[in-house]
């Protein structure tokens, strides 16, 4: 018989799927690393498990303890899977710009959820970063995950996602494109791929209102780049330690409108029911057209599932309110 010992054993080994209609004007083949096949429907399952296992090994996470994390939703879901299987409590701190579906899913998985305002400085005591750190001090026998600076985040992708992409493409990949938030995925995958072939180009997709692109190009952290945006799961108003800028060859920025519109187009034209960052990622690929040649093989990673966004990017009333539909 073939079966998984528990749900955590099903994490990883996600498929590559060819894009056809949306990429028809590109000279090369574009393959999607389709991370919704993970049990928590996102790429974050990989690093959530790695961070917990490493915390257990180092002794900072004790039996019966409480896991605390600031999350945009998907890391929280991955942590919830592992916490349930391993017998931990979970407290997730999330910003109020995230979809209601994400909050409901975390609570459905048994997590305690604290919702914090988005439009405040990271150092503000009301921010989700500050709230998570405060709770970690107040709750006994707790461990603050800190996915932004936790090296186990990028480690997970160096050990799993990167090798999978290399093997699935028979080493023929020439470009890797992915939205950047905590930086774990792009840094871990990028580090592995460049260890195999230093000529592979690693491109990050950023959003307007985030600091990544300008910092990568100038080395300047510019507060004037920071303003509220609706795209979920990518971009930051801080510089996470997991973002290895030396690994990244460049960034392209995608507007909120394009990210939302292309999230819908992926569903309607490719039958790919995906999250908001996937719309940003595929639009980023299209914006990078001039960098691709006929024999190139581009892999774009799609983070999460469309079920988390049915009240937003897949709701035409919401899209009209935002000015994203004509």
DSSP string, 231-245: --SS--SS--TT--T
Task: Give the C-alpha separation, 18 to 179, whole Å.
Answer: 18
Residue 228 is assigned to a structural domain of this protein: yes
Element (H, E) at 263: helix 256-270
- Looking at the fold, whether 167 and 80 belong to one and the same domain comes out as no
Contact 87, 64 (CB under 8 A): yes
Mean pLDDT of all residues in 34-43: 98
- Domain-ending residue, one of 101, 118, 144: 144
Average pLDDT, the chain: 96
In a shared domain, residues 106 and 232: no
Is 136 part of a structural domain of the chain? yes
Confidence of residue 312 (pLDDT cuts 50, 70, 90): very high
Considering the domain architecture, whether residues 316 and 183 belong to the same structural domain is answered as: yes
Clarify whether residues 121 and 229 are in a common domain: no
Closest Cα to residue 75, out of 98, 46, 100, 107?
46
The total domain count for the chain is 2
Structure tokens given for 133: 């750190």
Do 272 and 222 reside in the same domain of the chain? yes
Q: Are residues 139 and 156 both part of a single domain?
A: no
Domain boundary among 113, 144, 175: 144
- Structure pTM? 0.95
Conformational region of residue 59, where left means phi above 0, alpha means psi within -120 to 50, and beta covers everything else: left
Q: Are residues 116 and 140 in the same domain?
A: yes
Query: For position 92, which CATH number holds?
Result: 3.40.50.1100
pLDDT digits (tens, 9 = 90+) for 121-166: 888 999 988 999 999 999 999 999 999 999 999 999 999 999 999 9
Say if 326 falls within a structural domain.
no
pLDDT tier at 97, thresholds 50, 70, 90: confident
The residue from 113, 129, 144 where one domain ends is 144
Residue 68 lies in a domain: yes
158 and 210 share one domain: yes
Pairing between strand 201-207 and 175-179?
A: parallel
The predicted pLDDT at position 220 comes to: 97
User: Does 288 score more than 90 pLDDT?
Assistant: yes
**1 occurs within a structural domain:** no
Q: How far, CA to CA in Å, does 210 sit from each of 139, 177, 255, 261, 291?
A: 32, 17, 11, 20, 23
User: Does a structural domain hold residue 294?
Assistant: yes
At residue 120, the pLDDT reads 86
Average pLDDT over residues 70-77: 92
pLDDT, position 326: 77
What residues are annotated to the active site? 44
238 domain residue, yes or no: yes
Is residue 301 predicted with pLDDT exceeding 90? Answer: yes
87 with 191, same domain: the answer is no
Do 275 and 180 fall into the same domain? yes
Q: Give 170's contacts (C-beta < 8 A, 6+ positions apart).
A: none
The boundaries of the domain holding residue 157 are 7-37+151-321
pLDDT (0 to 100) of residue 119: 84
DSSP state of 209: T
- Cα dihedral: 142, 5, 105, 261 (round 10): 120
Residues 29, 99, single domain; the answer is no
What is the pLDDT, as a whole number, of residue 99?
A: 85
Q: Report the run of H or E that residue 168 belongs to, with start and end.
A: helix 162-168
Q: Are residues 312 and 209 in the same domain?
A: yes
Count other Cβ atoms within 10 Å, centred on residue 9.
11
The Cβ of residue 102 has, within 10 Å, a number of other Cβ atoms equal to 25
């Amino acid at each position: 018989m073939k079966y998984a010992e528990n749900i955590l054993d099903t994490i990883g080994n996600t498929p590559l799927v060819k894009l056809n209609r949306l990429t028809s004007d590109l000279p090369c083949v574009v393959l999607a690393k389709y991370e919704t096949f993970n049990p928590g429907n996102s790429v974050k399952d990989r690093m959530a498990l790695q961070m917990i296992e490493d915390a257990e090994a180092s002794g900072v996470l004790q039996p019966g303890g409480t896991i605390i994390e600031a999350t945009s939703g998907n890391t929280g879901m991955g942590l919830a899977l592992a916490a349930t299987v391993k017998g931990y409590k979970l407290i997730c701190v999330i910003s109020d710009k995230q979809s209601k579906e994400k909050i409901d899913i975390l609570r459905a998985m048994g997590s305690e959820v604290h919702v914090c305002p988005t439009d405040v400085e990271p150092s503000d005591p009301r921010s989700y970063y500050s709230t998570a750190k405060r709770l970690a001090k107040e709750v006994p026998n707790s461990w603050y995950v800190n996915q932004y600076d936790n090296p186990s985040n990028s480690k997970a992708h160096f050990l799993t996602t990167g090798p999978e992409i290399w093997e699935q493409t028979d080493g023929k990949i020439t470009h890797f494109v992915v939205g950047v938030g905590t930086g774990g995925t792009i840094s871990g995958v990028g580090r592995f791929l460049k260890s195999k072939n230093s000529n592979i180009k690693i491109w990050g997709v950023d959003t307007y209102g985030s600091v990544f692109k300008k910092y990568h190009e100038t080395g300047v952290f510019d507060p004037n780049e920071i303003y509220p945006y609706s795209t979920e799961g990518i971009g930051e108003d801080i510089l996470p330690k997991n973002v290895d800028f030396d690994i990244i060859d460049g960034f392209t920025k995608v507007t909120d409108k394009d990210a939302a519109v292309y999230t819908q187009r992926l569903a309607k034209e490719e039958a790919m029911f995906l999250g908001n960052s996937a719309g940003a990622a595929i639009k980023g690929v299209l914006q990078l057209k001039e960098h691709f040649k006929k024999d190139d093989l581009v892999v774009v990673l799609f983070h999460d599932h469309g079920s988390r966004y049915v009240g937003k990017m897949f709701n035409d009333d919401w899209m009209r309110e935002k000015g994203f539909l004509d």
